[in-house]
């Protein structure tokens, strides 16, 4: 067995290894593109090795060095594939060990993402010194949404450059932080902040796409960009609009007339139905909250994101609390993952799921399971809360409606209590959450609809009297129309269901 750097004449064999292992469903489709791999062969930002046996390529693995900022010295280790005909002979471990050794002097923080459909890669990561740092639920779309175990390690100056002992986290993050510090053998305290107030989310802002003129004004704002950034990624506004566009970065600015108040960047990954918030620049608290609230709404309404992600500073409990208030939950704690100015920063990974909690085939090592047991319960509870208002009714009006579509319906309308004897207002579609209403000679109960005719332009007059203390979910005619216009597929299903109830 000969481990060596990849060469141009290996490209077809490497693509074939990915196809033999994943068919056409690998989460990174660029690995099927000969031109993309060719650029990787000659890139200074990728260490790419193959294992050759008797002239045949039997394994491949890489370390991507430009995952973070140019000076972050982060290496993403992985993309490992092994010839399935000779699996089980240690080739995966051989290629990963070789990649780690090759990257050691060029990387201060190395990480890998291990699949949870089987424990093989998790075990290899353990053997080569990459320790678990988090559980990323339903992270990638492959044949189904797969979860991953985040593993990492600090190399070289990575440990000494950290802001040692200065982390400040909210209570929901503390267990993850303690476990990651323990796994990396970092004996240091963390400060847990109680009763933290998040940034205000109800600020109305004039949000506009980034222009070249606005960009020059944003670059004069240091808070969040140069001074104490609270959100991290490998993408930054000062790369310039052409480079950001090439990397599929979307940036918007908050305006007050001609004055730029701040900016926010995000990336939409269409294949994975996910959105990642990559940068937040603003000095005022209400601008930060307003931009973040806009981004979450945009991700859910415009892109129908099943996963929303964000990497947050471990030194900003207010931003951590803001994430929690927007429905994002902590998944990982990565000590020293990013470099800013003169120090390495710990980060907390947050995610929000707008999809069913269905993990598929699933197997974890003992070390990985520690993170699953810290992370999963909150997501499981969120999934139950996400659906219980409407989906638990098993209402005919919601037949074939997906969990994300239920979320969109929830956002479009509102639920409220109706006292006994009160009469519902007309011009509105109601779904009875609990209780009962009398309409002339019939009683309408839990899971049934009142006012379905408004969807079809019929008369909107009704007289529905609460027989007992009840609760309803309501969509006005205008809200129903706006929902269906924004989401035509959802609208079609909803109208079909309402027509069947007439």
- pLDDT digit string, tens, across residues 166-210: 999 999 999 999 999 999 999 999 999 999 999 988 788 999 999
Q: What is the pTM of this model?
A: 0.77
Confidence (pLDDT) at 66 = 63
When pLDDT is cut at 50, 70 and 90, the band that residue 102 belongs to is confident
Kindly tell me if the per-residue pLDDT of 69 is higher than 70. no
CB 97 within 8 A of CB 128: yes
Boundary residue ending a domain (127, 158, 189) = 158
Same domain? 300 vs 200: yes
Confidence (pLDDT) at 333 = 98
CB 484 within 8 A of CB 424: no
Confidence (pLDDT) at 147 = 96
Q: Strand (E) positions, 316-460?
A: 329-340, 343-353, 414-418, 428-434, 437-439, 442-444, 449-450
How confident is the model over 286-313, as a mean pLDDT?
91
Same domain? 176 vs 145: no
Kindly tell me if the per-residue pLDDT of 121 is higher than 60. yes
How confident is the model over 101-124, as a mean pLDDT?
86
Same domain? 24 vs 60: yes
Kindly tell me if the per-residue pLDDT of 23 is higher than 80. no
When pLDDT is cut at 50, 70 and 90, the band that residue 239 belongs to is confident
Residue 484 structure tokens? 């269906």
Q: Strand (E) positions, 177-328?
A: 191-193, 206-209, 231-232, 249-256, 259-269, 274-282, 307-313
Domain-embedded: residue 163? no
State the total domains in the chain. Answer: 3
Same domain? 278 vs 353: yes
Same domain? 340 vs 206: yes
The highest-confidence range among 131-135, 151-155, 215-219, by mean pLDDT, is 131-135
Write out the residue range of the structural domain in which residue 212 sits: 168-382
When pLDDT is cut at 50, 70 and 90, the band that residue 458 belongs to is low
Confidence (pLDDT) at 97 = 83
pLDDT: which is higher, 227 or 415 = 227
Same domain? 226 vs 107: no
Same domain? 30 vs 51: yes
Residues 6+ apart with CB under 8 A from 230: 224, 280, 288, 312, 313, 316, 318, 319
């Amino acid at each position: 067995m000969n481990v060596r750097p990849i060469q141009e004449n290996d490209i077809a064999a490497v693509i074939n290894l990915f196809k033999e292992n994943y068919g056409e469903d690998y989460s990174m489709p660029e690995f099927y593109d000969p031109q993309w791999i060719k650029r990787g062969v000659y890139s200074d930002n990728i260490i790419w090795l193959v294992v050759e046996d008797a002239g045949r390529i039997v394994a491949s693995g890489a370390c991507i060095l430009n995952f973070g900022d140019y000076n972050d010295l982060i290496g993403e280790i992985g993309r490992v594939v092994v010839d399935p005909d000779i699996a089980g002979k240690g080739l995966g471990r051989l290629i990963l060990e070789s990649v780690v050794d090759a990257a050691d002097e060029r990387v201060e923080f190395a990480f890998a993402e291990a699949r949870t459909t089987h424990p093989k890669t998790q075990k290899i990561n353990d053997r080569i010194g990459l320790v678990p740092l988090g559980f990323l639920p339903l992270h990638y779309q492959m044949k189904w949404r797969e979860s991953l175990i985040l593993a990492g390690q600090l190399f070289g100056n990575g440990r000494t450059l950290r802001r040692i002992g200065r982390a400040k986290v909210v209570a929901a993050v503390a267990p993850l932080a303690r476990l990651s510090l323990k796994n990396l053998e970092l004996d240091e305290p963390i400060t847990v902040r109680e009763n933290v107030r998040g940034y205000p989310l109800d600020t109305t802002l004039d949000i506009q796409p980034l222009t070249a003129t606005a960009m020059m004004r944003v670059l004069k704002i240091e808070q969040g960009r140069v001074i104490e950034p609270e959100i991290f990624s490998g993408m930054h506004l000062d790369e310039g609009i052409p480079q950001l566009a090439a990397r599929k970065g979307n940036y918007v600015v908050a305006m007050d007339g001609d004055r730029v108040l701040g900016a926010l960047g995000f990336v939409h990954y269409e294949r994975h139905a996910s959105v990642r918030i990559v940068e937040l620049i603003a000095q005022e608290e209400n601008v930060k909250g307003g931009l973040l609230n806009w981004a979450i709404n945009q991700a859910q309404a415009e892109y129908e994101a099943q996963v929303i992600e964000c990497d947050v500073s471990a030194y900003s409990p207010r931003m951590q609390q803001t994430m929690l208030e927007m429905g994002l939950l902590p998944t990982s704690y990565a000590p020293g993952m990013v470099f800013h100015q003169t120090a390495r920063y710990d980060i907390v990974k947050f995610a929000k799921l707008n999809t069913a909690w269905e993990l598929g085939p699933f197997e974890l090592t003992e070390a990985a399971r520690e993170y699953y047991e810290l992370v999963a319960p909150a997501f499981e509870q969120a999934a139950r809360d996400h659906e219980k208002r409407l989906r638990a009714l098993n209402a005919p009006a919601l037949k074939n409606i997906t969990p994300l579509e239920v979320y969109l319906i929830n956002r479009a309308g509102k639920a409220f209590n109706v006292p006994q004897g009160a009469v519902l207002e007309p011009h509105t579609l109601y779904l009875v959450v609990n209780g009962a209403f009398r309409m002339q000679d019939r009683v309408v109960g839990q899971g049934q609809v009142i006012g379905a005719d408004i969807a079809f332009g019929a008369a909107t007059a009704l007289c529905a009297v609460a027989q007992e203390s009840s609760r309803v979910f309501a969509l006005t005619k205008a809200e129903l129309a706006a929902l269906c216009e924004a989401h035509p597929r959802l609208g079609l299903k909803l109208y079909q269901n309402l027509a069947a109830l007439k």
